[in-house]
A and B are shown apart, each in its own frame.
Chain A
Amino acid sequence: MIGAVAVLLLLLATEPTKPSEAALCGLGGLCGQSVPQEDKVAPLTRDLESAEVRKIYHAVSDLASLGEAALPAIEKRAQAAQGRTRDYLNLAADEIRSARLTTGVPPLQRLSMKSSDRNVVELLGDLRAKTGVALSLENLMGEEKLPEVPVDVRDVTMLEAFDAICRAGNVTVTMENGQFMLYQGDYQEMPRFFYDHYFFRLGNFVLLRTVDFRKPAVQSFKLQMEMLWDPAAAPCKFNPPVVVEALDDKGKNLIPPPPPPKKEPPKPVEPKPPGEAEEVEAESTSFLQLLPPSPAAEKLTVLRGYSTIGLPRTKVSLSFAEEPKKGERKEAAPPEKPQDPAAEPAPSPLDGMQRKSGDFTVKIVKVESGLFRITCEVSSATLKVEDIGKMPFLASVTLKGAEPTRSYVSLWSMKDTVAEVMISFQPLHLKEILVKAGDDRPVPPAPVEKIELSIVTAVQERKIPFEFRDVKIK
């Protein structure tokens, strides 16, 4: 790990101290415009005092999208503000500072959708076309005709629209390996919060009394919170969420007091390189530990905090595609013969292909289209295999005919100097009609045309806020 940390620190040190002009405009900044920033910041700051959570966080998002030019005005207002408003302004300022350091995260779009004559698959297909979100709709397609469902959303994020469609069409959403999984039925009315490319929902709560007969009984209150995201803005690291405000309707503060300082003398700590943070492994589903609410409490009036995630800051990307042979003229492909799915698939031309970029060498060991997986070997000239194994990986797999897939990468094994990683992918069938074929014959797997594997060499932390109001507990 130390090796990997050293690389990350090196990258941190070489970061340009002054953001480039391009980066300043990256967040939809108002480059070249002469409207005083204060005039734009002032009305949005007023929105931060709204009673409507959605309006507040849209205002935070809009403040962040003003970019670096608005930073002094936002910081000035934050200094003068108090309480939540100051927190929201500081969050907007943090967003501006961190945005210039992240890479590959698409800018946030808001959209509107209104329909009363389309079914849930058609609506999600439309959302996919509008936003490019990687959704596989296969689970929702059946032989029965789906009912038309009404949807009317305005000026919403992709995830807000997605949730509204799923709610209208009674579709359950889960997230597995960073990809959305959709199932017909059982949509649960969970408390939800949307911010930017991220979506939090509260799953359940457990109130527990533990009696050990040796000391007074202890009560605890634990809320399960799950974070979902647009796969295009997937975090590669999670830190446990932090709750900054939690009150029940009887006015009880539910934030646990800090643990008492340990009486033992502090143990000598090995000096760490500057900037190295404590590593805390966390998951996208976490538990918020709070004090138990008052016995008569019926709801939590507010539950506010943030979750710090890591986003790719720098990455090494290696691309694998079949190169046309010299002198070969590209002709229209002959019509494909129907393939027997049971037949042994032909080896992929990408098998054995090797690419090098910087320190890293990646070899495609085997493409198994029928199993929707690709095995790769990653090695480094300077890093130990254990350190490679700890680095986040990203992948993009394109099938024949430029058919996109959704994909994720997992570490498979580590041997000697090579980390074996497995890319799993699922075709999105964007070009097919959204109706299942009448027969049950399996669709033959399409050959893999292009693979892009990225090794994240440095991550940028970003605080993603959450705020729930009036959460019923009785």
Chain B
Amino acid sequence: MKPLAAVLMLLLATEPTKPSETSLGGLGGLCGQSYAQEDRRVPELLAKLDDDSIEVRAAAAVALIDLGKPALPSLKRLVPSAGVELKDRLNEIIRKIQDRDRLSSLLPPPSRISIDAKDRPLREVFEKLSKQTSTPIDYSQVPEDAKVTVTLDRVPLWKALDRICRASGRVMPEVENDHVVITPETYVELPGKITDLFCVTLQRLELSTEVVFGSPDRYDRFNATFHVSWEKGARPYHVTAHIAELVDESGSELVAAGEDAESVLMSSIAPDMIRQDFTLDSPHGPGPQALKISKLKVEIEFEFPLKYAEVKLDVSTGKVPAASSCAEFDVRLSRLERTEGALTASLVMVPHGPLEGEITGESVVLRDKSGKEYPAIVTEGTPGNESETPYQLTFPSAPEHQEFTEIQIRIPTEVHRERLDVELKDLNLK
């Protein structure tokens, strides 16, 4: 037994038996599970943090993060006596749990759906569900004669939707840009992963071979289109994703674990969006004759801002304002005028060090005397030197004869990254 185990035995004896209620609502928390069961897992998981296998250690870290706040006392107690490597690991887990906790206070709480229906009209069930979530749901296309029997007790939204549709068999949940539509079609279980916060579904796979005449080369490409959805108001700032592993039917690794696969980044996600699509490509595919994929693993990372740096430029005189700065960056306007009817400006930002975010449309807002806000369209210019980034700002909705007071520029300086691994096995391509 390793020295860690002795410490764990002690922890096991002193671990509180019931975590606080608030921690359960945290991001990715295993809500709905028994508290006592979670407590028992802590020492087991802590023991696994010192395992010889990387996979075991990583899985234990993820599980501890998922446990959230209840695991914090045990983790903190272990830090002083841990070796260098384990101490780093523990601190990283503690930081992530705390970040999640901070984030949960910034985001709306996830919906918990409770329904007990026995052979009830499907529309009535969706009506009940709609009343328990702020995410808009259009169930007008649900067949009037469809009935369902389903029991849900504090089930997260995406799981609830899936369970109702599955129980009915006659409808599918489709996530549009800013709302969910229940469509009348035979239920099919799409490959994917549903967590308390996110619903990731694999919508389409394309396997192609391209041959250029006169060339001996063949290009076998693979691409997978996913939808990722979240509840209204829980929009991430950025989403990045990449294929982490792709294995064909014969066991050949087309994308090997640990290989540097190209990531796609989705940014500028509009505030009312609840869905984002992304297509992941691999230049090595199994070819269009393949009938099965043994394994497809995708890693998705969601970024949520925790803290912002902010400056305000006084535009009340209608002239180019003086430069403004905060601890993280300086900004100055070199031009503020009407161009073809729209209020436009040239802005230069000088960061004092690396920033988590950049200036995007949602970072810039123009305010008038009454406090009304006007959004900006932001285009990045060509930097004149390494330390400065120029931007062109356009406020298309700013009325001509309005008195404006300030332009506010807000950039995330601290970001919480939430990772979601989606591992799909034995995908049928027939």
Residues of chain A within 8 A (CB-CB) of B210 are: 204-206
Q: Which candidate, A99-107, A144-152, A183-191, A318-326, is the interface stretch facing chain B? A: A183-191
Check: A202 CB closer than 8 A to any chain B CB.
yes
Q: Which candidate, A211-219, A308-316, A400-408, is the interface stretch facing chain B? A: A211-219
A residues 404-431 with Cβ under 8 Å of B? none
Check: B17 CB closer than 8 A to any chain A CB.
no
Contact yes or no, A207 B288, CB < 8 A: yes
Residues of chain A within 8 A (CB-CB) of B206 are: 208-211
- Which of A202, A203, A211, A214 interacts with B188 by CB under 8 Å? A214
Contact yes or no, A206 B213, CB < 8 A: no
Total interface residues in chain B, CB < 8 Å: 24
Contact yes or no, B188 A213, CB < 8 A: yes
Residues of chain B within 8 A (CB-CB) of A204 are: 210-213
Contact yes or no, A209 B429, CB < 8 A: yes
Interface string of B179-190 (1 = CB under 8 A from A): 000000100101
Check: B58 CB closer than 8 A to any chain A CB.
no
Query: What is the chain B residue whose CB lies nearest that of A212?
Result: B204
CA A188 to CA B217, docked complex, whole Å: 13
Nearest chain B CB to A201 CB, angstrom units = 8
Nearest chain B CB to A187 CB, angstrom units = 8
Contact yes or no, B191 A209, CB < 8 A: no
Contact yes or no, B215 A188, CB < 8 A: yes
Interface string of A167-201 (1 = CB under 8 A from B): 00000000000000000000011110000000000
- Which of A189, A191, A209 interacts with B288 by CB under 8 Å? A209
Interface string of B199-212 (1 = CB under 8 A from A): 00011111111111
Nearest chain A CB to B290 CB, angstrom units = 7
Given A212-B203, A213-B188, A217-B430, A206 contacting B212 (CB threshold 8 A): no
A residues 18-55 with Cβ under 8 Å of B? none
Contact yes or no, B213 A191, CB < 8 A: yes
Given A188-B213, A189-B214, A202-B213, A208 contacting B430 (CB threshold 8 A): no
Contact yes or no, A206 B188, CB < 8 A: no
Residues of chain A within 8 A (CB-CB) of B429 are: 209, 211, 217
Nearest chain B CB to A54 CB, angstrom units = 19
A residues 339-396 with Cβ under 8 Å of B? none
Check: B385 CB closer than 8 A to any chain A CB.
no
Check: B250 CB closer than 8 A to any chain A CB.
no
Total interface residues in chain A, CB < 8 Å: 24
CA A219 to CA B289, docked complex, whole Å: 9
Query: What is the chain A residue whose CB lies nearest that of B430?
Result: A217
Residues of chain B within 8 A (CB-CB) of A266 are: none
Contact yes or no, A295 B430, CB < 8 A: no
CA A208 to CA B185, docked complex, whole Å: 26
Interface string of A230-248 (1 = CB under 8 A from B): 0000000000000000000
Check: A153 CB closer than 8 A to any chain B CB.
no
CA A188 to CA B214, docked complex, whole Å: 5
Contact yes or no, A206 B214, CB < 8 A: no
Contact yes or no, A190 B204, CB < 8 A: no
Query: What is the chain B residue whose CB lies nearest that of A473?
Result: B211
Residues of chain B within 8 A (CB-CB) of A202 are: 213
Contact yes or no, B207 A208, CB < 8 A: yes
Contact yes or no, B205 A210, CB < 8 A: yes
Given A216-B430, A219-B288, A295-B289, A211 contacting B213 (CB threshold 8 A): no
Query: What is the chain B residue whose CB lies nearest that of A192?
Result: B213
Contact yes or no, B215 A211, CB < 8 A: no
CA A189 to CA B203, docked complex, whole Å: 39
A residues 283-321 with Cβ under 8 Å of B? 292, 295
Contact yes or no, B288 A208, CB < 8 A: yes
Nearest chain A CB to B287 CB, angstrom units = 8
Residues of chain A within 8 A (CB-CB) of B202 are: 213
Contact yes or no, A206 B208, CB < 8 A: yes
CA A72 to CA B207, docked complex, whole Å: 53
Query: What is the chain B residue whose CB lies nearest that of A187?
Result: B214
CA A292 to CA B185, docked complex, whole Å: 29
CA A203 to CA B214, docked complex, whole Å: 9
Query: What is the chain A residue whose CB lies nearest that of B203?
Result: A212
Given A213-B190, A213-B191, A208 contacting B208 (CB threshold 8 A): yes
Query: What is the chain B residue whose CB lies nearest that of A474?
Result: B211
**Top 7 A-B residue pairs of the complex, sorted by shortest distance between their CB atoms:** A188-B214, A209-B288, A189-B214, A208-B208, A190-B213, A211-B205, A204-B212
Known A-B contacts: A188-B214, A206-B209. Give 20 more (CB < 8 A): A188-B213, A191-B213, A203-B213, A204-B212, A204-B213, A205-B213, A207-B209, A208-B206, A208-B288, A209-B205, A209-B207, A209-B208, A209-B288, A209-B429, A210-B206, A211-B206, A211-B429, A212-B204, A217-B430, A295-B289
CB within 8 Å of B: which residues of A?
188-191, 202-214, 216-217, 219, 292, 295, 471, 473
Provide a sorted-by-A list of 22 A–B residue pairs whose CB atoms are within 8 angstroms. Answer: A188-B212, A188-B214, A188-B215, A189-B214, A190-B213, A190-B214, A205-B213, A206-B209, A206-B210, A207-B208, A208-B207, A209-B206, A209-B208, A211-B204, A211-B207, A211-B427, A213-B190, A214-B185, A214-B190, A217-B429, A217-B430, A473-B211
